[in-house]
Amino acid sequence: MEQKDQERFEHTAKIFRILGHPVRLAMIEELKVRSWCVCELAARLDLNNPTASKHLSLLNSIGVISMDKNGTQVTCTLVMTCIFDMMHCAEITRTQDRTASEGSQKIEISTTYCDAGHCKR
């Protein structure tokens, strides 16, 4: 593998590792609605401020969110909205797997997020 490909795959793997935590995904989902102060988001998700801050710092380090400091308050804003495409595809896959195991008919897939049709089966 060429060096440039190796670096690209390592960067992508880092993004997936950081995204691979339920609390961080919950934070991203909350940030879809609006920007939040770290303390507000922590309270909303029943986390202490240092824990929330650590998770948010990781999301900031890979460019998913931005963190803007104003005095002692840090406001987080979602930057990488394309994550919802992937989250939507994951949910469709989970729902289809559950539906198939229950013997029900397949659900109709919405293309609200997946305009390219990547999650269609």
**pLDDT tens figures, 2-57:** 999 999 999 999 999 999 999 999 999 999 999 999 999 999 999 999 999 999 99
**CATH architecture classification, 3-78:** Orthogonal Bundle (1.10)
> What order do you get walking across the sheet with 36-37 strand by strand?
36-37, 73-78, 65-70
In this predicted structure, what is the pLDDT of residue 6? 96
* CATH 1.10.10.10 domain locations along the chain: 3-78
Confidence of residue 117 (pLDDT cuts 50, 70, 90): low
C-alpha to C-alpha distance for 67 and 64, rounded to whole angstroms: 10
**pLDDT tens figures, 60-109:** 999 999 999 999 999 999 999 999 888 888 888 777 766 556 655 554 54
